[in-house]
Structure 1
Amino acid sequence: MAIPIDDLIEVANAISRGEVPEFQHNECFTSGAFDLLLVKATGSNAFLLLQDAVEKYEAVDEAGVGFRGYFYLLGILARQSETTEVPPGLLEIIVRHPELSHELRNWYRLQN
């Protein structure tokens, strides 16, 4: 089952607003809301989702809810991609938000 990136961004925005997003099941609530959504996103599938998430940066910025949840999502997708290949545009995002990109800088072994 493919998860549309817009659904992931919606969860990220909820986290940025300080909300505890629901799992995609009615009976569960969690602050790790991506757990069930991304359970099968590994390797190249996770990398493709990461690329899609990077492309959604402007939409997240325009939403005006902050980037905390967005960077949480990027970090999960980077780890689950199992590669240190950096998708186009991600370095620029990391540079714009040094206070939120610690996990990504560590994963990609970038200088602080």
Structure 2
Amino acid sequence: MLLRSADQRLMCVCFSYVQSACKIFRAAEECRLDRDEEKAYVLYMKYLTVYDLIKKRPDFKQQQEFFLSVLGPTSFKKAIEEAEKLSESLKLRSVHYIINRVINRKENKCIEYKKIREARNKNTSS
């Protein structure tokens, strides 16, 4: 009887992890649809971390089919695919951001240089 109670507690803990994983996945999907790439990426990665924790639990191995049906048969694969896409998109955005910063700095230096040159020309012509 005591063993059964301990097993039930383990199942409850694993099921609460599964519920949390499902909530995280839904939140990631919502953020992706809202085009909030940063938040969606973080949530997909959290989902994958929780999913990994669930799969390592002994109670998961006992009721694998049940837990996988609650998690959804394709959610793990979709989370990986979306996280990879978002990762690439975020990398591109950061590269574009850095390039734009470099261009802006160079433009600002050119403007400063022109102002200095104009000031020198005014001083020499006076």
Q: Provide the TM-score with structure 1 as the length reference.
A: 0.35
Report which of the two structures shows the higher radius of gyration computed on alpha carbons: 2
Which structure is higher in helix share?
A: 2
Q: Provide the TM-score with structure 2 as the length reference.
A: 0.32
